[in-house]
Structure 1
């Protein structure tokens, strides 16, 4: 779950099933009591068709939490502090970073660092499309050490420079009178 609408939909659907929902946050649902096997099936039958995934094993939950922390860090917080990702994940999830890193790589087929970079590049794309911030401001907001470093990383991931990406996006936009 990435947005508030997703959280709202999940909560409503679970309450329709008669479940006592304690809280619904990004990627995690807390019920007041453990659901029965039948209730788990009902939850899956309601949420999966809506595009949600139901994760019930410990390792998958840890990986989902890693993703949610990274998504929250990149997309939902203004990165005004320089955060050490490995320390943040270790302290939030109460596991050694090497364990988290190995587990993530084993299951996802990519490293936590590459996932983090991919999320940052997606945020850069979003900010470029909004066209409200300069590349320098975007670099600062996402804690890049320089615009050059951001540009190099962007090109490595997307194959395009940020300015070329922005130009392509602008070329695809139709004027209002053509919509």
Structure 2
């Protein structure tokens, strides 16, 4: 879109986060076209005062403007993964295909950059986010293990169960019955 500026935002990991960003932009009178996980498409570039005010308002709710190119790429990788895992339909695409569709760099470069800055691989991040999604779906108690397995692309319910137990120390059925759940905020990843 003409005159469009993309602002990358750390910790925008869900639909409520997108609404928060929208409210902040509206409050500051900053016009935008669209807000997605991890970024906002603004109608014009920010001046220094707007950038300062926006950064201040974002920090109040746990968001942060991202300005370095490497951090923008990492944020885009995380957003692509979150988009995939939290979509209503499972994508049968490989993780590399999901990322390459959204980020115009060679996958080898992206994986090296991600691992260098985050201290773990893209695959590890993907697996951790999937486990958090499984926890969430178990807590909702609306889907069976088989349905969760299908929805998140596990090859079998048994594989989901063994992956879940390896990551959490609990089988899905034991986790479901815990009085105190141990979900982690997605913005710590």
- TM-score range normalised by the length of the shorter chain: 0.7 to 0.9
Q: Distance in 1 between matches of 2:164 and 2:46?
A: 44
- Aligned to 1:76, the other structure's residue is in SS state coil
Q: Which aligned segments of 4 or more residues in structure 1 are displaced greater than 3 angstroms?
A: none
- Aligned to 2:46, the other structure's residue is in SS state coil
Match of 1:61 in 2: 72
Match of 1:149 in 2: 159
1:6 Cα deviation (Å)?
A: 2.3
Structure 1 unaligned residues grouped into runs of 5+:
174-179
Q: Which of 117, 120, 131 is matched with 1:110 structurally?
A: 120
Instruction: State the TM-score, normalized to the length of structure 2.
Output: 0.83
1:4 Cα deviation (Å)?
A: 2.9
Report the count of equivalent residues: 170
Q: Is the alpha carbon distance of 1:117 and 1:18 closer, same or farther for their aligned partners in structure 2, counting shifts above 3 Å?
A: same
Flag the structure with larger Rg.
1
Match of 2:109 in 1: 99
Structure 2 unaligned residues grouped into runs of 5+:
1-11, 182-189
Greater helix content:
1
Provide the alpha-carbon RMSD of the alignment.
Answer: 1.7
Match of 2:4 in 1: none
Q: Which has the higher contact order (CA 8 A, sep 6+)?
A: 2
Instruction: State the TM-score, normalized to the length of structure 1.
Output: 0.87
Match of 1:119 in 2: 129
Q: Which of 71, 95, 99 is matched with 1:85 structurally?
A: 95
Output aligned runs, 1:14-53, within 5 Å: 14-53=25-64
